[in-house]
C-alpha cells in the first residue's frame, strides 16, 4: 500500500446492491482497499430471521459470490478487503469465504471480528433497568437478537496482523473504511480529528453511488445511470480526502452530490457519536479540486463515550400488506372506501371469533399523493391502493389476507391487478435500541483459527448540554423592501432524507450562500413540524451546518415504527426531503433563483 494516500473504494451500499461494482473498482479504480457495507437495521432483522431457520446462515451470501471470481485479481493487486457482511454470523461468513478461496486456488488470510452479539447479556441489561434510548420504554419479555455497534480498531488490528480480508458482524458502517486508515497511517485512539475525518470518509462512501450522483436532487444532470461509478475516497494521513470514481463511469461528483450524502442520517451534526470518536461535522468544507473530484476537510473529533449503541430486536405480533390497482372516475375515493370496507369486514369477523381489533392499520392511495397528506395536489384516474395491517394474532391476519380478493366483486368498479396475490402474513420484528458499557462488550478477533489481541474500547462521559450553539444568517431588515414572492425550496436548496430508527432525518443544503438566510428564516423547526404534521408524531429538531451552507432536521416518531415494524409505504423516510423541497419560501421579489 502507498503511504502517501490510501485509496478506498466501496462496492456495496446495502445488501442486494449490484454485483458488478466490485469488478469495476478492482479493475478500474486503482484502489488499495475494497470495502462493502451491507448492514442496515432492516437488514439485521432479515438476517436474524434467516439464521433462525438455518444456523449456518445469517450473513450476506452476496459478498462471497461477488468476491469469488475476483479473488485471484485481488490477491495479485495486493488489495485488502473489509466488509460487515458477517451480519449476525461472521464466523459462518468467514468459513464460506475460505471455501471459495480454496476453490479458486487462492491463499488468503481471513479474519473475523466478533463479540457484537450481546443476546446473552440482555437479562443483565434488564436487571439494570435498561430502557429504550429514544422512546424510554422498558425492555420486552424476550429478544430475538442484540448486537452492539463495534468500532474500527479491531479491523485495524486484523490488518496489522496480516489479514487480507476482514469480515465483521454489526459495526458502524463507517468503520469498514476507518479501520484500514488507522492501520495504514498509524492513527492512535486519541487522534480525534483524524478519526473524525476517516469516519466521515466512511460515511460518505458507505452508501455506494449515493455520493456519486445517485438519489441526487438535480437527477436530470446526472449521466450514465446504466454504468454508475462507485465511490473512491483517496485519503491522506492528515485525514482529508478526495471523493472520486473510476474514469469513464457514469455519475456526477460535485460538492452538492457529496454534500447530500454527508447530511444523510447523521442526526445532530455537532455530535455524530461513534464507538471510536465523537464527530463534529458542522464546519466541514467541500471543494471541487478537479473534474469529478471533491476534497473534503474540516471534520473535528473528540473523545467517544463509554457506551456503545445496541440494536436489539423482538417479535411484536404480525403484519400483512395488500396492494391492488383501481381505475376510473374518482379512483382515489373508490380506493379509500374499498380499503375501509375491507378493514370493517375484518373487524366484524374478528369480533365474531373473539380475536380483538387490529393493532394498527394504514391506508395509502399511491398515485393520489397519499404520503403528502394535506399537501396533495392530484386527482388521478388510476391508483394503487395499499392497505397495511398489524395484529397480535396470526389467525386474524389470515382472515385479512383471504378477504381482500372478494372485495373486487362486492365494492367499486375498476379493481384489478392484485399485486403479489394474497397478502403474506409476516412476523413484525421491532427494533429496541439501548446503550451498554463498552467494558462489558467482549470484542474478539480471530485469524486462521487463532485469537488475536484486540484493542478494548473505552470512552469519557459525554454531556450534550455542553455542545456549542451554532447559528447562521437571517435576512437583513431591508431585504423585502421591494416586495416578496414565494418560491419552492427546491429552487434554493438540495435535500436528502433517510431514517434514524423511528425518526426521519432531512438534510438541506443551500445552492448559494445568498439563499441561506431566507431558507433559515422559513425552515424553522416549528414550520417543518407543521409541514409534516400528518406524518411526524414527535418533536422536530434543527441544527445548522455552516461549513456546507446546510440545515439538518430530525423528525421524531415520523416513520410509523420504522424499518420492519412500519406498515407505511415509506418506512425509512426516503421521500421526505422530496416533500420538503415543495415548501414555499418567501424571498425578495428581485432575488434570482435557480
Averaged pLDDT, 573-581: 96
Planar angle of CA 409, 413, 415, nearest 5 degrees: 75
Check pLDDT > 70 for residue 1: no
Which of residues 428, 453, 477 is at a domain's end? Answer: 428
- Residues 209-258 have pLDDT tens digits of 999 999 999 999 999 999 999 999 999 999 999 999 999 999 999 999 99
- Alpha-carbon distances, residue 231 vs 31, 198, 286, 289 (angstroms): 11, 15, 16, 16
Residues 202, 219: Cα–Cα separation, whole Å: 23
Residue 309: inside a domain, yes or no? no
> What are the cell numbers at 288?
471541487
Owning domain of residue 583? 469-588
Averaged pLDDT, 524-542: 96
Averaged pLDDT, 333-362: 97
Residues 92 and 189 occupy one common structural domain:
yes
pLDDT at 453: 86
| Residue 2 DSSP class | -
Which CATH number characterizes residue 320's domain?
A: 3.30.70
Alpha helices (runs of H) in 512-565, residue ranges in sequence order: 516-522, 525-531
Confidence grade of residue 43 (pLDDT, cut at 50, 70, 90): confident
Planar angle of CA 47, 274, 42, nearest 5 degrees: 20
Averaged pLDDT, 304-325: 95
| Count of domains observed in the chain | 3
Residues 460, 304: Cα–Cα separation, whole Å: 6
Residues 424 and 365 occupy one common structural domain:
yes
Candidates 116, 195, 193, 121; CA nearest to 156 is 195
pLDDT at 48: 82
Residues 476 and 413 occupy one common structural domain:
no
Residues 411 and 325 occupy one common structural domain:
yes
Spell out the residues 6+ positions from residue 265 whose beta carbon is closer than 8 angstroms to its own: 498, 499, 500, 505
Measured on CA atoms in the order 516, 519, 521, 526, is the torsion positive or negative? negative
Residues 496, 259: Cα–Cα separation, whole Å: 9
Candidates 200, 165, 199, 182; CA nearest to 79 is 165
Which of residues 304, 325, 358 is at a domain's end? Answer: 304
Confidence grade of residue 455 (pLDDT, cut at 50, 70, 90): confident
Candidates 561, 571, 365, 434; CA nearest to 134 is 434
Residues 289 and 328 occupy one common structural domain:
no
Check pLDDT > 50 for residue 2: no
pLDDT at 417: 80
Confidence grade of residue 293 (pLDDT, cut at 50, 70, 90): very high
φ, ψ (nearest 5 deg) of residue 350: -60, -45
Residue 443: inside a domain, yes or no? no
- Alpha-carbon distances, residue 99 vs 22, 26, 89, 92 (angstroms): 19, 21, 16, 11
Averaged pLDDT, 579-593: 96
Residue 271: inside a domain, yes or no? yes
Residue identified by cell 423592501 is 481
pLDDT at 547: 97
- Across all residues in the chain, what is the average pLDDT? 95
CB-count exposure of residue 2 (10 Å: 0-12, 13-18, 19+):
exposed
Residues 83 and 62 occupy one common structural domain:
yes
Q: Is the pTM of this model over 0.85?
A: yes
Measured on CA atoms in the order 167, 169, 502, 422, is the torsion positive or negative? positive
pLDDT at 51: 87
Averaged pLDDT, 36-50: 83
Residues 400 and 476 occupy one common structural domain:
no
Strands (E), 53-100: 80-83
Residue 136: inside a domain, yes or no? no
Residue 120: inside a domain, yes or no? no
- Residues 327-345 have pLDDT tens digits of 999 999 999 999 999 999 9
Residue 138: inside a domain, yes or no? no
| Percentage of residues of the chain with pLDDT beyond 90 | 90
- Alpha-carbon distances, residue 140 vs 132, 211, 567 (angstroms): 10, 38, 21
Residue 244: inside a domain, yes or no? yes
pLDDT at 3: 60
> What are the cell numbers at 193?
480529528
Which of residues 428, 458, 485 is at a domain's end? Answer: 428
Check pLDDT > 90 for residue 74: yes
Residues 268 and 321 occupy one common structural domain:
no
| Percentage of residues of the chain with pLDDT beyond 70 | 99
pLDDT at 45: 75
Residues 289 and 349 occupy one common structural domain:
no
Residues 298 and 346 occupy one common structural domain:
no
Residues 222 and 336 occupy one common structural domain:
no
Residues 18, 35: Cα–Cα separation, whole Å: 14
Check pLDDT > 90 for residue 594: no
Residues 86 and 176 occupy one common structural domain:
yes
Planar angle of CA 492, 201, 4, nearest 5 degrees: 125
Amino acid at each position: 500500500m502507498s503511504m502517501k494516500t490510501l485509496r478506498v473504494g466501496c462496492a456495496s451500499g446495502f445488501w442486494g446492491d449490484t454485483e458488478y461494482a466490485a469488478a469495476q473498482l478492482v479493475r478500474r479504480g486503482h484502489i488499495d482497499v475494497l470495502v462493502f457495507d451491507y448492514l442496515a437495521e432492516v437488514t439485521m432483522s432479515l438476517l436474524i430471521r434467516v439464521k433462525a431457520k438455518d444456523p449456518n446462515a445469517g450473513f450476506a451470501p452476496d459478498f462471497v459470490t461477488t468476491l469469488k471470481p475476483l479473488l485471484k485479481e485481488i490477491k495479485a493487486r495486493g488489495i485488502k478487503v473489509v466488509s460487515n457482511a458477517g451480519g449476525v454470523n461472521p464466523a459462518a461468513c468467514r468459513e464460506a469465504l475460505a471455501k471459495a478461496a480454496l476453490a479458486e486456488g487462492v491463499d488468503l488470510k481471513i479474519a473475523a471480528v466478533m463479540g457484537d452479539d450481546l443476546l446473552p447479556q440482555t437479562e443483565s441489561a434488564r436487571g439494570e433497568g435498561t430502557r429504550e434510548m429514544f422512546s424510554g420504554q422498558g425492555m420486552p419479555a424476550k429478544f430475538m437478537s442484540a448486537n452492539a455497534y463495534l468500532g474500527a480498531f479491531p479491523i485495524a488490528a486484523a490488518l496489522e496482523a496480516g489479514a487480507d480480508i476482514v469480515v465483521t458482524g454489526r459495526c458502524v458502517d463507517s468503520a469498514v473504511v476507518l479501520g484500514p486508515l488507522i492501520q495504514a497511517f498509524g492513527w492512535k485512539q486519541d487522534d480525534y480529528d483524524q478519526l473524525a475525518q476517516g469516519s466521515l470518509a466512511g460515511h460518505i462512501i458507505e452508501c455506494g453511488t449515493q455520493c456519486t450522483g445517485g438519489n441526487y436532487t438535480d437527477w436530470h444532470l446526472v449521466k450514465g445511470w446504466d454504468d454508475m461509478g462507485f465511490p473512491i475516497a483517496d485519503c491522506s494521513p492528515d485525514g482529508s480526502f478526495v471523493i472520486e470514481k473510476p474514469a469513464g463511469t457514469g455519475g456526477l461528483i460535485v460538492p452538492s452530490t457529496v454534500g447530500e450524502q454527508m447530511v444523510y442520517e447523521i442526526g445532530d451534526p455537532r455530535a455524530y457519536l461513534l464507538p471510536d470518536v465523537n464527530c463534529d461535522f458542522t464546519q466541514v468544507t467541500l471543494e471541487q479540486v478537479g473534474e469529478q473530484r471533491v476534497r473534503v476537510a474540516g471534520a473535528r473529533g473528540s473523545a467517544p463515550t463509554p457506551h456503545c449503541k445496541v440494536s436489539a430486536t423482538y417479535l411484536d405480533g404480525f403484519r400483512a400488506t395488500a396492494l391492488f390497482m383501481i381505475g376510473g372516475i374518482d379512483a382515489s375515493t373508490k380506493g379509500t372506501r374499498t380499503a375501509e370496507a375491507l378493514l370493517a369486514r375484518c373487524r366484524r369477523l374478528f369480533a365474531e371469533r373473539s380475536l380483538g381489533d387490529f393493532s394498527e392499520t394504514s391506508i395509502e392511495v399511491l398515485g393520489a399523493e397519499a404520503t403528502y397528506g394535506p399537501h396533495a395536489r392530484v386527482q388521478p384516474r388510476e391508483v394503487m391502493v395499499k392497505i397495511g395491517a398489524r395484529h397480535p394474532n396470526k389467525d386474524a391476519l389470515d382472515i385479512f389476507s383471504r378477504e381482500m380478493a372478494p372485495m373486487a366483486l362486492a365494492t367499486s368498479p375498476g379493481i384489478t391487478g392484485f399485486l403479489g396475490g394474497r397478502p403474506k402474513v409476516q412476523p413484525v420484528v421491532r427494533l429496541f435500541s439501548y446503550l451498554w458499557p463498552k467494558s462489558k462488550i467482549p470484542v474478539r478477533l480471530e485469524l486462521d483459527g487463532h485469537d488475536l489481541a484486540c484493542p478494548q474500547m473505552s470512552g469519557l462521559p459525554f454531556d450534550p448540554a455542553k455542545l456549542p450553539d451554532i447559528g447562521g444568517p437571517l435576512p437583513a431588515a431591508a431585504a423585502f423592501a421591494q416586495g416578496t414572492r414565494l418560491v419552492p425550496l427546491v429552487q434554493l436548496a438540495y435535500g436528502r432524507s433517510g431514517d434514524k430508527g423511528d425518526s426521519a432525518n432531512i438534510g438541506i443544503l443551500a445552492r448559494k450562500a445568498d439563499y441561506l438566510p431566507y431558507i433559515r428564516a422559513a425552515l424553522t423547526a416549528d414550520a417543518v413540524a407543521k409541514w409534516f404534521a400528518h406524518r411526524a408524531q414527535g418533536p422536530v429538531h434543527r441544527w445548522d451546518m455552516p461549513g456546507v451552507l446546510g440545515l439538518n432536521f430530525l423528525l421524531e416518531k415520523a416513520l410509523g415504527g420504522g424499518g420492519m415494524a412500519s406498515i407505511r409505504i415509506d418506512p425509512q423516510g426516503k421521500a421526505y426531503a422530496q416533500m420538503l423541497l415543495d415548501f414555499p419560501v418567501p424571498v425578495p421579489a428581485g432575488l434570482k433563483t435557480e
